[in-house]
């Protein structure tokens, strides 16, 4: 494994070795989201976005999955792997957007739109997933929605992703809840973006579909984090303004040393993602088997169906 993070400190190096040893001894796999801190990204067996991580979780033959990300991601891994042990590296890592959609609100919307189908962003709770027809991620939302049978789609919990999908679909998209959003992307507003463009006039602007509509409209490209990784590699441009959680910039810079990446807004930092603050959290989770993730079987089975439908459709 390539260790890019400048681990000069003997203690950190020691931790890296201990983590690798524990992974082998326990037949464990470490799945890490793109927004994690650099030193944790560097010990990942797989580094990716929600879709990539969900795929890896469904494919792994490891006995133990350790997830450095947030609650709904570790839950997704457990839903797909009921017989494996799943641990999350920080038990307080709860996504605020996922918490914005309550089961009761979804049931009410379903009652109001009896002919609609429900597509939920994976950034939702297991009990809400259990009530939907398919999950989606920002990488496949358009594809999943357009593959559904119904003309009306209840879509949640991110209203900005709902806006993005509505622009690319003939179907009627109803956002549930009306004001669901990711606060990290919601604060990437036009004044911040204009300032970044003023500072880096030659940079191409790539933003995440969780950003507000006017920011999406101003961007040259809109992409999920996996889409951003691909664009950074494939586009000939040398400078990029990136509108997403700033943790992704480490990966982009590492994979593209000849290019430059600037945040659209440097304060776009997710507190939930940063609950996993260091390698120590990964080490202790692996060593002690702490922060186990569980999902009641009745909910798990229904949620699994919705996640598998997404995996089939994407």
Footprint of ligand SF4 on this chain (CB under 6 A)?
70, 95-97, 123, 182-184, 245, 270, 272-273
> What is the distance of C-alpha 15 from the center of its chain?
26
Pick between residue 120 and residue 184 the one whose CB is nearest to ligand SF4. 184
Q: Is the CB of 19 or the CB of 138 nearer to ligand SF4?
A: 138
Structure-token match 């003939």, residue found: 170
Tokens describing residue 236: 């000939």
Query: In this complex, which beta carbon is closest to ligand SF4, that of residue 133 or of residue 210?
Result: 210
Minimum CB distance to ligand SF4, residue 86 (Å):
17
Nearest distance in Å: CB 61, ligand SF4: 28
Contacts of 57 (CB under 8 A, 6+ apart): 31, 65, 76, 77, 80, 81
Q: Name the minimum Å distance from CB 213 to ligand SF4.
A: 17
- Burial (CB count <10 Å: 0-12, 13-18, 19+), residue 157: buried
R_g (Cα) of the chain, nearest Å: 19
Q: How many residues does the chain have?
A: 314
Residue written as token pair 């017989």:
83
Query: What span, in angstroms and rounded, lies between the C-alpha atoms of 262 and 175?
Result: 31
User: At its nearest, how many Å lie between ligand SF4 and the CB of residue 65?
Assistant: 18
Distance, in Å, from the CA atom of 85 to the CA atom of 249, rounded to the nearest integer, reads: 31
In the complex, what is the shortest distance from the CB of residue 161 to ligand SF4, in angstroms, rounded to a whole number? 10
Supply the minimum distance, in Å, between the C-beta of residue 210 and ligand SF4.
7
Decide if 23 contacts 32 (C-beta within 8 A): no
Q: What is the DSSP code string of 188-217?
A: --HHHHHHHHHH-TT-EEEE-TTS-HHHHH
Minimum Å distance from CB 95 to ligand SF4?
3
Task: Report d(CA 247, CA 253) in Å as an integer.
Answer: 11
């Amino acid at each position: 494994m390539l260790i890019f993070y400048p681990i000069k400190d003997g203690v950190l190096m020691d931790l890296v070795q201990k983590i690798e040893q524990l992974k082998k001894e326990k037949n464990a796999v470490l799945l890490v989201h793109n927004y994690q801190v650099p030193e944790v990204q560097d010990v990942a067996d797989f580094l990716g976005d929600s879709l990539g991580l969900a795929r890896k979780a469904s494919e792994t033959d490891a006995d133990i999955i350790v997830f450095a990300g947030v609650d709904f991601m570790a839950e997704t891994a457990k839903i797909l792997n009921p017989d494996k042990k799943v641990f999350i590296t920080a038990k307080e890592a709860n996504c605020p957007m996922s918490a914005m959609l309550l089961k009761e609100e979804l049931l009410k919307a379903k009652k109001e739109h009896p002919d609609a189908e429900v597509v939920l962003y994976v950034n939702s709770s297991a009990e809400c997933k259990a009530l939907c027809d398919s999950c989606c991620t920002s990488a496949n939302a358009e594809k999943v929605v357009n593959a559904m049978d119904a003309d009306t789609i209840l879509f949640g919990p991110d209203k900005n992703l709902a806006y993005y999908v509505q622009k690319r679909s003939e179907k009627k998209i109803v956002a549930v809840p009306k004001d669901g959003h990711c606060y990290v992307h919601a604060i990437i507003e036009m004044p911040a973006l204009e300032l970044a463009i003023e500072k880096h006039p030659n940079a191409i602007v790539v933003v995440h579909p969780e950003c507000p509509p006017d920011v999406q409209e101003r961007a040259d490209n809109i992409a999920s984090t996996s889409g951003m990784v691909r664009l950074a590699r494939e586009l000939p441009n040398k400078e990029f303004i990136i509108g997403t959680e700033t943790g992704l910039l480490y990966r982009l810079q590492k994979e593209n040393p000849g290019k430059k990446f600037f945040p659209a807004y440097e304060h776009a930092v997710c507190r939930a993602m940063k609950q996993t603050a260091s390698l120590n959290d990964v080490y202790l989770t692996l060593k002690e088997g702490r922060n186990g993730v569980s999902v009641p079987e009745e909910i798990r089975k229904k949620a699994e169906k919705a996640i598998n439908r997404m995996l089939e459709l994407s």
